[in-house]
Amino acid sequence: LGMSEVKLWPSYFPYTEPSLQVVGYSDLANDWIELGGSGVFRPEVTWPLGVKKPVLAWGLGIERLILLRLGLDDLRVLYDNDLGWLRRRATTSIAGSQTLQG
């Protein structure tokens, strides 16, 4: 992933408490990148569903890694419906080689 250091620290997420954020230091971005979050669902979330035991929650934030990998700076591009943009983009692999879509 190209992260030289990974840290876990307490954070706030509205549906979990306690909550934990996972960040990694990217030498490419020269900054800390959020990789994901986790926590224990608050009872107000699980009790209406009939679940009375603690439930763990976690999610990965790989969008930021994708931005770095593709050299993008706007997260919204990844959620756009512009098929033309997708067709014009080079495809990429984790290994780093790029090929042009035909």
* Domain spans in the chain, listed from the N-terminal domain onward: 3-100
Predicted pLDDT at 11: 93
Fold designation for 3-100: BirA Bifunctional Protein; domain 2 (3.30.930)
Report pLDDT digits (tens) over 51-98: 999 999 999 888 888 888 888 888 888 888 888 877 777 665 655 555
Please give the pLDDT value at position 51.
Answer: 96
29: left (phi over 0), alpha (psi -120 to 50) or beta: alpha
Does the pTM exceed 0.75? no
- Give residue 14's pLDDT band: very low, low, confident or very high (50, 70, 90): very high
Higher pLDDT, 7 or 79: 7
Query: What pLDDT was estimated at residue 99?
Result: 52
Stretch 41-51: mean pLDDT? 96
d(CA 62, CA 10): 19
Among residues 95, 93, 96, 74, the alpha carbon closest in space to that of 85 is found at 74
